[in-house]
Amino acid sequence: MISTKRFLKLSGKASSNAPRVRDEAFGAQSLFSREPLDFDLVTQLTHMSAVATSGVARDRLFEGTASLEYSTSKYFRRVHRVAQRLQYDYSKACEVVADQVKVESVQNLLLHFATALSAGEAESDFLERETEVQLELYGKKYERDIEGLRKWTDAYIALMVSTTLIVVISLVSMMIYPVGTVALIGLAFIVMMVTAAGSWIIYTVAPHEVKTHKLKRKSAEQSQMDKLGLVLVTVSGPVLVLSWMFLGLGVGMILCAIILTPLGYLAHKDDRKIDQRDMALAPFFRGLGSVMGAVGTTTAEGLARLNRRSLGGMEPHVHKLYVRLKNDIAPPLVWARLAGETGSELVTRTARIFEEGIRLGGDPAVVGTLASEFATKVTLLRATRNLIGNTFVFVVMPMHAALLGIMLFVTEVVRVFGTEIKKVQDANLDSELVREAGVSQAITFASPDMSFIGLFVSVMILMLTAANAFAPYAAAGGHRFKLFIYLGGTMMISGIAMLVIPEIVQNLFKSVSESPLTSGQ
């Protein structure tokens, strides 16, 4: 007889190759993104609680939640398979699977579920109470992550200032002592690693959630982004390389910023619209569920009685929903179209909670309340994150301009003074007066290798430009193309600085470059 542990391992392998339920509205998350475990867990519990109000059988409840494509669905899939194939009671199956789970939050949930089922408690009562608890835990953890993000954004600013100071000191030191090429390459590598680590820490400490869905049908802005992104992102790379070779890195960055900024603007515009739609979700589902529960009517008739003027960004989408339901189109397809056209993952998840809860016979008032509480919690937490993310953006952009300005200014000063001091030394070091004074070669200034310094500074500028674009995106979150509005800003700042600052330094120190005989004429 096969052991339970061995069965779980085999079922895990089988589940990775087994076909999963997919539909137009509720697609899987991107393979390359992190798993939003906490977000998925609270979504799954809310969905189960809504479905449980219909009094559905226990095996159908677990089978339905196992078919969802969240990162936590695999645990409920294992529970269902253990119960069905090994003929275990679901309370025992929950306990067996919990012993194999590494995630503490999921393990505790399954153990609590096992206790409630073995005690004969109704699934709807347990899930309603556990959903409320998990929402509170999710909110508290999100707030802790936000506080950590706040502190790390402050640390990131200090880190960028420190790395730039190190680079500036190294440039000045090259005028006094000939720093070796290997030493500068090592310094560049260290600075690169420190800067990358700072951006990566911002990415890891920020609360991870999914804001825009990955469905086949998308919002109008997302469709435009997909079409433009395929062209603009592909073109930007060759434009930067060719411009750097023939026109200079500064010109190349400005051209790339002009190419990529429209893509980032569309993502930013779509992000703001998603925020408006998400804010309207809670009153929409709460009001629709209350009307349907009080009158005892269908979703289409409930929408006809609902005052849609207070729905803000959801009003046009709700109107389309009503028209489609009124024309007897299948409700799952109609809700799928709603989720796709809004572009919001929160709308997708909340709509599925409400639609499946109602379709399986759940209480509309209770289902609407569950969906609205879930949407309210998520939107309020996101509003706090947006405050920190937007503040961080307004700090990083001026900081980027200041740091690049200092670095380029010092580089040009080193070039001007190094060149002039070298001329004076070459002309006067062998004079009779200098030899009589006993001036040693050891105290002379070293002539810096400006070709290597130029390459070194260009690499530092590229690195800071990328890091200072990625860090605000990681803090704010959103669609992946939203990165390009920050990248366009940092590239524009870098390009303008590389063109303007050398000219400013040349004008400021023009008198230094002139010989005494020339200036006296």
Per-residue three-class SS string for 154-201: HHHHHHHHHHHHHHHHHHHHHHHCCCCHHHHHHHHHHHHHHHHHHHHH
Beta bridge partners of 344: 212
Interior angle at CA 502, CA 501 and CA 508, nearest 5: 90
Mean pLDDT of 417-425: 65
Amino acid symbol at 477: G
User: With bands split at pLDDT 50, 70 and 90, how would you rate the model's confidence at 37?
Assistant: confident
Between 505 and 514, residue with greater pLDDT: 505
Q: What is the pLDDT of residue 511?
A: 60
Domain around 189:
144-208+219-277+380-419+449-506
Q: What is the pLDDT of residue 442?
A: 46
Write the pLDDT tens digit of every residue in 131-180.
999 999 999 999 999 999 999 998 999 888 888 888 888 777 776 666 66
Give yes or no for residue 15 having a pLDDT over 50: no
DSSP-assigned letter for residue 212? B
Number of domains composing the chain: 1
Does residue 302 belong to any structural domain of this protein?
A: no
Cβ atoms of 127 and 52 closer than 8 Å: yes
H/E segment holding residue 492: helix 483-508
Give yes or no for residue 221 having a pLDDT over 50: yes
Does residue 132 belong to any structural domain of this protein?
A: no
Cβ atoms of 370 and 285 closer than 8 Å: no
Q: What is the pLDDT of residue 453?
A: 77
Does residue 28 belong to any structural domain of this protein?
A: no
Q: What is the pLDDT of residue 187?
A: 78
DSSP-assigned letter for residue 441? G
Query: What is the CB-side half-sphere exposure of residue 434 using CA atoms within 13 A?
Result: 13
Cα separation, 70 vs 486, in Å, equals: 30
Place of tokens 């090259």: 174
Cβ atoms of 115 and 99 closer than 8 Å: no
Query: Interhelix angle for 483-508 vs 450-476, to 10°?
Result: 150
Amino acid symbol at 483: L
**Within 10 A of 180 (CB to CB), how many other CB atoms are there?**
9
What's phi and psi for 344, nearest 5 deg?
A: -105, 135
Cα separation, 161 vs 51, in Å, equals: 53
Between 186 and 387, residue with greater pLDDT: 387
Mean pLDDT of 487-508: 90
Give yes or no for residue 246 having a pLDDT over 60: yes
Cβ atoms of 251 and 228 closer than 8 Å: no
Predicted structure pTM score = 0.82
Say how many Å lie between the first and final Cα of the chain, rounded.
Answer: 105
**Within 10 A of 165 (CB to CB), how many other CB atoms are there?**
13
Q: What percent of the chain has pLDDT over 90?
A: 26
Give yes or no for residue 374 having a pLDDT over 90: yes
User: With bands split at pLDDT 50, 70 and 90, how would you rate the model's confidence at 377?
Assistant: very high
Does residue 464 belong to any structural domain of this protein?
A: yes
Give yes or no for residue 236 having a pLDDT over 50: yes
Among the listed residues 78, 65, 61, the one whose alpha carbon sits nearest the alpha carbon of residue 9 = 78
Tokens standing for residue 141: 């953890």
Does residue 176 belong to any structural domain of this protein?
A: yes
**Within 10 A of 168 (CB to CB), how many other CB atoms are there?**
17
Tokens standing for residue 243: 């411009």
Cβ atoms of 486 and 264 closer than 8 Å: yes
Pick left, alpha or beta for residue 87 (phi over 0 → left; psi -120 to 50 → alpha; otherwise beta).
left
Does residue 272 belong to any structural domain of this protein?
A: yes
Q: What is the pLDDT of residue 294?
A: 84
Q: What percent of the chain has pLDDT over 70?
A: 83
Amino acid symbol at 250: G
Does residue 436 belong to any structural domain of this protein?
A: no
Does residue 340 belong to any structural domain of this protein?
A: no
Burial of 6 (0-12, 13-18, 19+ CB in 10 A): exposed
Give the C-alpha distances (Å, rounded to integers) separating 344 from 152, 272, 336, 340.
Answer: 28, 11, 12, 8
Place of tokens 């796709």: 340
